[in-house]
Structure 1
Amino acid sequence: MSTADVKKNAEQKMNKSIETLKANLSKVRTGRAHVGILDHVMVDYYGSPTAINQVANVTLIDARTIGVQPWEKKMVAVVEKAIRESDLGFNPSTQGDLIRVPTPPLTEERRKEIVKLVKGEAEDAKVAVRNIRRDANEALKKLVKDKACSEDDERRAQDDVQKLTDKFVAEIDKLISEKEKEIMTV
């Protein structure tokens, strides 16, 4: 293993941390309806838990209403129950075989709670990035100890790892400030 391998490995892991953060942020409700909000709702489809978008067509009816149209008529009640019992706090109503899911506007207090949650997600991502930096620096020290690289190479590589860390922490801050703006916009 070389210093370049250590840096490349660290960068790949940091990228994964950013992707995880983006995925977590996409689940956060901002007051506007979007179809991705129901992605983690699971429906009991003939005995096996299945994602809602695997048993129904999920569309936007308007800015505050999601339309869910199950492909099988007997799934309408099951899908409606799954949405109602999810942790999202929605109250769906059925009209024929279309389930309308209105998204209630967020209160100021709820918006602030959501911002706190989002900042917690950011902090978790930053901790993950810093842990990756620590692991990379330990790997570099081990390379010096095993005489696989010089101390100068190690120092340069540690500087590069620190620059990577700074870059990813800045990216996390940017993602969070964008999400915070989105949440606080009424």
Structure 2
Amino acid sequence: MKSTPLGYLFTFLAFSVFAIQDGLSKHLGETHSPVQVAMVRYWAFVAFALFLAMRSSGGLSVAVNTKRPFLQVLRGLILFLQILISIVAFTQVGLAQSQAIFAAGPIFVALLSMPILGEKVGWRRWTAILFGLVGVVIMLAPSGDGFNSYIWLPLICAVLGAIYGIATRLVSRDDQPSTSFFYLAIVGFIGS
């Protein structure tokens, strides 16, 4: 697959949308309930998901059809819970530190992919995982100097994100991306 300027543009736009969304969530989370903030996010998400589903080949009926309904709903609930916790983390821990800890997600994906997906991990990856976990501990700063008791919230989000990522990999074996996207939006919308 070749990289194209259009691909770079869409990647930049996606990261920009997520950054703006997180910044707005932090701002709104200071004066509103995390559920209210998530609800507004999901209004936009479900509108976009329905628009894409109706435009895809086969339309909405293809997007609704899943071979893994339990796992699709579980993914939606995990993402919804992660969003709620992240909004609290943004307001209590701070956006920058929360995002830094969220970056530990791939470490947890690697750890969980062994027992859940049956993947093999060699010594190089184990070394990287070990150093990554040490880095997470350093970011958490458990020395007690100004320790914020909410610091565990972004760590929980990183673990939930890893579980969500592995569940996504599992459903992608049987369902189309449009189906997964549709269920994420609908489950979160109903949850909020």
Q: Which has a greater percent of strand? A: 1
TM-score (norm 2): 0.27
Q: Which has a greater percent of helix? A: 2
Higher RCO by CA contacts (8 Å cutoff, separation 6 or greater): 2
Larger radius of gyration: 1
